[in-house]
Amino acid sequence: MRRHEFELTTGARRVTDITAAVADFARECAADGLLHVFLPHATAGLALLETGAGSDDDLAAHLDDLLPRDERWHHDHGSDGHGADHVLPALISPSLVVPVDDGRLALGTWQSVVVVDTNVDNEVRRVRLSFVG
């Protein structure tokens, strides 16, 4: 198994495309296999999503509707509504697996690998990639 980790700053972005970094690692592996992407954080997740055509903005807006940042959350330390950030990974998993064919991600035409991060209290994330050939 091959592994690679990198750091990512999400800042104010709710959806951050990491496809290029994931594809670079797959290319280095230069084989058929499975690439596991893992986000070791309790307040962010990963998704396969079309980006650039409004889907990323739609997701961010609907997460605001689904997980409002108000006082309803039992987990109430941090910024207002931070408890919502801790519920996010139950809805958007912190891991996913992408097939790799001869060092190329086997994604659909419009699929991108994205980090979904609603937590304004922590903008620096680590992404762990593991390749099994």
pLDDT tens sequence across 62-100: 998 999 988 888 887 778 778 888 999 999 999 999 999
Name the strand (E) or helix (H) holding 48: strand 44-49
Q: What is the pLDDT of residues 17-30, one digit of tens each?
A: 999 999 999 999 99
Backbone angles phi, psi at 5, to 5 degrees: -125, 145
**pTM, two decimal places:** 0.94
Q: What is the pLDDT of residues 94-122, one digit of tens each?
A: 999 999 999 999 999 999 999 999 998 88
- Of 113 and 12, the structure prediction assigns the larger pLDDT to 113
Residue 69 has a pLDDT of 86
Contact partners, residue 16, CB within 8 Å, separation at least 6 = 8, 10, 114, 115, 117
Neighbour-count burial of 56, counting CB atoms closer than 10 A to its CB (0-12 exposed, 13-18 middle, 19+ buried): buried
Residue 13 has a pLDDT of 87
Helix (H, G, I), strand (E, B) or coil at 86: helix
The residues spanned by each domain of the chain are 2-132
pLDDT for 9 beyond 80: yes
Q: Which residues are bridge partners to 96 per DSSP?
A: 37
Neighbour-count burial of 13, counting CB atoms closer than 10 A to its CB (0-12 exposed, 13-18 middle, 19+ buried): middle
Architecture of domain 2-132: Sandwich (2.60)
